[in-house]
Amino acid sequence: MTMTQTIAPNAPITRPSAPPGGARAALEVARRALRKYFRTPGLSVMGVVQSALFLFSFRYVFGGAIQAGPSGYVNYLVPGYVATIVLFTGGGVAVAVAEDRAQGFTARLLSLPVPRYAIVAGRALADSATNAWSILVTVGFGFLFGFRLGGTVPDGLAALGLCLVYAVVFTVVFIVIGLFAPSVQAAQGLSLIAFVFAFISSTYVPAASMPGWLQPFSRYQPITPMVNAVRALILGSGSDVALALAWSALLLVVCTPVAVLRYRSA
């Protein structure tokens, strides 16, 4: 065996004195996810374009045929659409999580002395940020397509704040989907489940307009109260807000530990 004696590095790396703290590790994990998002046009640009096109279609293509709300369909549609936009963009989160597992990036992270919860926290932080970004862009398009606040500006901001809470909640849900999907394609497929919840709810049409057998699902699944709460806040009412927050808390409380435990064995 020939052993080429290459010069040993004359400036050795000192060993870190301690593993990174959870917050620093989470920020580093988040920074990488954000860089990937903003440096991949397919993710950052197409996500926005897609959400604008969808809103455009509902507003101008289907909207004329839908009777909803006393102040016109656009004022009914936009709050629901903004509240649930993450159900559409969140598929990207599940795919990104599944990709990291398939390509060995998760293994690299798990081999580092990083607290497991920091990996989930970093991922959730970054994806909540990009999802919040989608929400803000979509609100912009909403106003462009004719949406007007029915109440005061603070009421509108409260509604927006609630939508941002949902962004965090759905992000964690999609992280769990990405962690359980056996492949990247499966992550994409599984994410379509979210469409069922988005469409069979009060997001696009009032639940009362659906056939009787469909109404119980529409009424009691979490998306309907979540959307209704956003509409109520815009008009200065607090109805359904407590129920929406309870659903949000429940989803977070269930999904977060599942995500942390699942990352541990990814």
Residues that bind other proteins (CB under 8 A): 1-9, 11-20, 24-25, 28-29, 31-32, 35-36, 39-40, 103-105, 107-114, 265
Provide, rounded to whole angstroms, the least separation between the CB of residue 61 and other proteins: 35
Nearer to other proteins, 115 or 150 (CB): 115
Closest by CA position to 126, among listed 46, 38, 64: 38
Provide, rounded to whole angstroms, the least separation between the CB of residue 123 and other proteins: 13
Provide, rounded to whole angstroms, the least separation between the CB of residue 29 and other proteins: 8
Q: How far apart are the first and last CA of the chain?
A: 38
Nearer to other proteins, 81 or 133 (CB): 133
Provide, rounded to whole angstroms, the least separation between the CB of residue 263 and other proteins: 11
* CA dihedral for 174, 43, 121, 229, sign (positive or negative): negative
Provide, rounded to whole angstroms, the least separation between the CB of residue 129 and other proteins: 16
Nearer to other proteins, 119 or 139 (CB): 119
CB-based contacts of 75, cutoff 8 Å, min separation 6:
69, 147, 148, 150
Q: Assess contact for 99 and 144: CB atoms under 8 A.
A: no
Nearer to other proteins, 152 or 185 (CB): 185
* Distance between CA atoms of residues 13 and 5, nearest Å: 20
Place of tokens 């659409």: 81
Nearer to other proteins, 35 or 148 (CB): 35
Q: Name the burial class of residue 238, with classes exposed (0-12), middle (13-18) and buried (19+) by CB atoms within 10 angstroms of its CB.
A: exposed
